[in-house]
Amino acid sequence: MENYLIAMAVSAGLYALMALGLNVIWGMAGQVNLGLVGFFAVGAYVSALLTLKLGAPIAAGVLAGALIAAAVGAVVSLVTARLRGDYLAIVTLGFAETIRVVASNEIWLTNGTDGISGIPGPWRAALTPGEFNLFYLCLVAALVIVAFALIDRLAHSPFGRVLRAIRDDEQAAAVAGKHTLAFKVKAFAFGSAVLGLAGALYGHYTSYIAPDLFLPLLTLYIKLALLAGGVGNNRGAVLGAVVVVTFLESTRFVVPLIPGLTHVQGAALREFLISAALIVVLRLRPQGLLPEARMHPVLAKEQMAAQT
């Protein structure tokens, strides 16, 4: 049982990392990103391939995963620099789907839909499964804390202030002489790096990745986490991740209790509950579940635009 709880906590930690990454891209820089799972997948595949096929040390693989994801994020950001929000939404979604399609088809590289198994984990051979679990939890927790500290620092730094200025009124920021493109790209790249990091960590934890794990549903979970905790709020990101994972896992318990459901129906019901939960949270408290949450500027600005 405790193994299960630890695994759940690791999940929550990875989600928290991704939510923090999204916070930089969306909460601070105001860039819509519906293709989170694509950057997650890039990090996972890069690290898995480097460590498994080329025998690189795990730390190097993880670092490479984060860096390559950052580079991809920079490219996506550059290419979509001048696009309006809804076009950015479509392109990022398409990007994630394309990553999945490429992963499914380039069998020579990714093993296609069979996925890559046997991804090494740090000291996995030397530890019992229980010990490995615990160790990994500490690792992920430590990284979450580091990421949190870094991103919080970023938010309060001059860089963070410029990002928020760009988010709130890009034209004004550009007129004030800020190189808005460079800032947006850096923010996108940084957020993507964190997403890629989470992906790499995921691969080394579960030792198996496959394209079907990287569905838009995952992007939705992260969005839900951020919305539940409060967009732009770093503590909220972590809290939201915990809430989402708890909810996800609890459906895993509740659904089998309903009699007469096939396996497929159970899975469908779970996904339905999660998407319904997102709709409910979006409707009732788009500003998040934390009591002191205020309406975040990205959501408030949108609201004003919608009313004119």
Partner 1 sequence: MREQRVLTQFLQLLLNGAMAGTILAVPAIGLTVIFAVLRFPNFAVASHATIGAFAGYVANVSLGLPVLPAIVVAFLVAGLVGLASDELILKPFRAAGFITTAIGSIALTIALENVVRFMFGNELRGYDLPLMRDWRFAGLRVGPQQVENLAIALAVTAAIFAFLAFTRAGKAMRAVADNPTLAGIKGVNGETIARTVSFVGMGLAGLGGMLLGLDTSIDPLTGFRAILSIFAAAVVGGLGSVPGAVVGALVVGIGEELSLLILSPNYRSAVGFLAILLVLTVRPRGILGQRAY
- Nearer residue to partner 1 within complex by CB, 5 or 109: 109
Which one of the spans 58-66, 157-165, 167-175, 269-277 is the region binding partner 1 (CB under 8 A)? 269-277
Site for partner 1 in 17-36 (CB under 8 A): 32, 34
- Nearer residue to partner 1 within complex by CB, 3 or 105: 105
* HEC-encoded secondary structure of the chain: CHHHHHHHHHHHHHHHHHHHHHHHHHHHCCCCCCCHHHHHHHHHHHHHHHHHHCCCCHHHHHHHHHHHHHHHHHHHHHHCCCCCHHHHHHHHHHHHHHHHHHHHHCHHHHCHHHCEECCCCCCCCCCCHHHHHHHHHHHHHHHHHHHHHHHHHHHHCHHHHHHHHHHHCHHHHHHCCCCHHHHHHHHHHHHHHHHHHHHHHHHHHHCEECHHHCCHHHHHHHHHHHHHHCCCCHHHHHHHHHHHHHHHHHHHHHHHHCCCCCHHHHHHHHHHHHHHHHHHHHHHCCCCCCCCCCCCHHHHHHHHHHHC
The two tokens of residue 54 are: 């080329």
Site for partner 1 in 90-119 (CB under 8 A): 90-91, 93-95, 97-98, 101-102, 104-105
Establish if 77 lies at the interface with partner 1 (CB under 8 A).
no
| Residue in 114, 131, 279, 294 binding partner 1, rule: CB under 8 A | 279
| Residue in 87, 131, 146, 157 binding partner 1, rule: CB under 8 A | 87
- Nearer residue to partner 1 within complex by CB, 98 or 250: 98
What number of chain residues touch partner 1 (CB under 8 A)? 50
Shortest approach of partner 1 to residue 251 CB, angstroms? 12
Establish if 157 lies at the interface with partner 1 (CB under 8 A).
no
Establish if 251 lies at the interface with partner 1 (CB under 8 A).
no
Distance CA 131, CA 124 (A): 9
Shortest approach of partner 1 to residue 117 CB, angstroms? 22
| Residue in 159, 170, 178, 286 binding partner 1, rule: CB under 8 A | 286
Shortest approach of partner 1 to residue 199 CB, angstroms? 20
Establish if 305 lies at the interface with partner 1 (CB under 8 A).
yes
Establish if 86 lies at the interface with partner 1 (CB under 8 A).
yes
| Residue in 10, 278, 288, 296 binding partner 1, rule: CB under 8 A | 278
Q: What burial letters (b/e) apply to 105-140, b meaning 16+ CB within 10 Å?
A: eeeeebbeeebbeebbbbebeeeeeeebbbbbbebb
Interface residues with partner 1 (CB under 8 A) are: 32, 34, 79-80, 82-87, 89-91, 93-95, 97-98, 101-102, 104-105, 216-217, 220, 223, 262, 264-265, 267-269, 271-272, 274-276, 278-279, 282-283, 286, 298-299, 301-303, 305-307
